Amino acid sequence: MRFSNAFLDEIRDRVSISDVIGRRVTWDRRKTNVSRGDYWACCPFHGEKSPSFHCEDRKGRYHCFGCGVSGDHFRFLTDLDGLSFPEAVQQIADLAGVAMPQPDPQAELREKERMGLVEVMEMATGFFEDQLQTPAGAKARAYLRDRGLTGRTIETFRLGFAPESRNALKEFLAGKGVPKEAIEACGLVVHGPEIPVSYDRFRDRIMFPILSIREKVIAFGGRAMSPDAPAKYLNSNETELFHKGSVLYNHARARKGAQGADGPGTIIAVEGYMDVIALHQAGIENAVAPLGTALTENQLELLWKMTPEPVLCFDGDGAGIRAANRAADLALPFIKPERTVRFALLPDGKDPDDLVRHEGRAPFDKVMAGARPLAEMIWGREVQGANFDTPESRAALEARLRQVTAVIADEDVRRHYQQNMRDRLNTFFRPAQRQGGGTFSGNRQGKGGGRNASQANTAPTGISDRLMRSALVRGAQDLPALRESVLALTVVNHPGLLFSDYDEIAIIEYENRDLQRLWSALIGIAGAIGTRLERDRLIEELEAVGFDTVLKTLEQQVRNSRLWTATVEAAPEDAREGYLQALALHKRTRALLWQRRELERELAVSTEEGDGERVPQILRALQEVQQETVRLENQEAIIEGFGVLSGRVKGPAAR
Domain spans in the chain, listed from the N-terminal domain onward: 5-96, 105-242, 243-430, 472-647
User: Quick one: DSSP state of residue 430?
Assistant: S
Whether the predicted pLDDT of 478 surpasses 90:
no
The H or E element containing residue 445 is: strand 444-445
CB 364 within 8 A of CB 355: yes
- pLDDT, tens digit, 9 for 90 and up, residues 508-544: 778 787 888 888 788 878 777 777 788 998 898 888 8
Q: Is 562 helix (H, G, I), strand (E, B) or coil?
A: coil
The pLDDT of residue 521 is 82
Rounded to whole angstroms, the maximal C-alpha distance in the chain is 87
CB 582 within 8 A of CB 574: no
**Which is it for strands 432-433 and 439-440: parallel, antiparallel or unpaired?**
antiparallel
Task: Between 437 and 100, name the one with better pLDDT.
Answer: 100
> Which of these CATH numbers, 3.20.20.120, 3.40.50.10860, 3.40.1360.10, 3.40.50.300, describes 243-430?
3.40.1360.10
CB 595 within 8 A of CB 604: no
The pLDDT of residue 73 is 94
Helix/strand/coil (H, E, C) string of 247-299?
A: CCECHHHHHHHHCCCCCCCCCEECCCHHHHHHHHHCCCCCEEECCCCCCCHHH
Fold for 105-242, please state it: DNA primase DNAg catalytic core, N-terminal domain (3.90.980)
Whether the predicted pLDDT of 449 surpasses 80:
no
What are all long-range contacts of 70-77, with beta carbons under 8 Å and residues at least 24 apart? 72/12, 72/17, 73/11, 73/12, 73/15, 73/17, 73/20, 74/8, 76/17, 76/20, 76/21, 77/20
The pLDDT of residue 445 is 46
CB 645 within 8 A of CB 574: no
| Summary count for the chain: helices (H), strands (E) | 30, 19
Please tell me the pTM assigned to this model: 0.57
Task: Between 614 and 547, name the one with better pLDDT.
Answer: 547
Domains 5-96 and 105-242 agree in fold: no
Q: How many CA atoms lie within 13 A of 328 on its CB side?
A: 26
Window from 374-378, 596-600, 608-612 with minimum mean pLDDT: 608-612
Whether the predicted pLDDT of 547 surpasses 60:
yes
**Which is it for strands 287-288 and 268-269: parallel, antiparallel or unpaired?**
parallel
β-sheet bridge partners, residue 287: 268
Q: Residue 109 phi/psi, 5° resolution?
A: -65, -40
Averaged pLDDT for residues 432-449: 40
The pLDDT of residue 633 is 57
CB 169 within 8 A of CB 127: yes
β-sheet bridge partners, residue 64: 53
> Which of these CATH numbers, 1.50.10.10, 3.90.580.10, 3.40.190.10, 3.40.50.970, describes 5-96?
3.90.580.10
β-sheet bridge partners, residue 53: 41, 64
User: Quick one: DSSP state of residue 46?
Assistant: S
Q: How confident is the model at residue 459 (pLDDT cuts 50, 70, 90)?
A: very low
- pLDDT, tens digit, 9 for 90 and up, residues 255-291: 888 764 444 468 999 988 999 999 999 999 999 999 8
User: Quick one: DSSP state of residue 336?
Assistant: B
Within 10 A of 9 (CB to CB), how many other CB atoms are there? 13
Averaged pLDDT for residues 28-51: 86
User: What is the rounded distance in angstroms from the CA atom of residue 202 to the CA atom of residue 195?
Assistant: 16
- pLDDT, tens digit, 9 for 90 and up, residues 78-97: 888 878 888 899 999 999 88
- DSSP sequence for 571-613: -HHHHHHHHHHHHHHHHHHHHHHHHHHHHHHHHHHHHHHT-TT
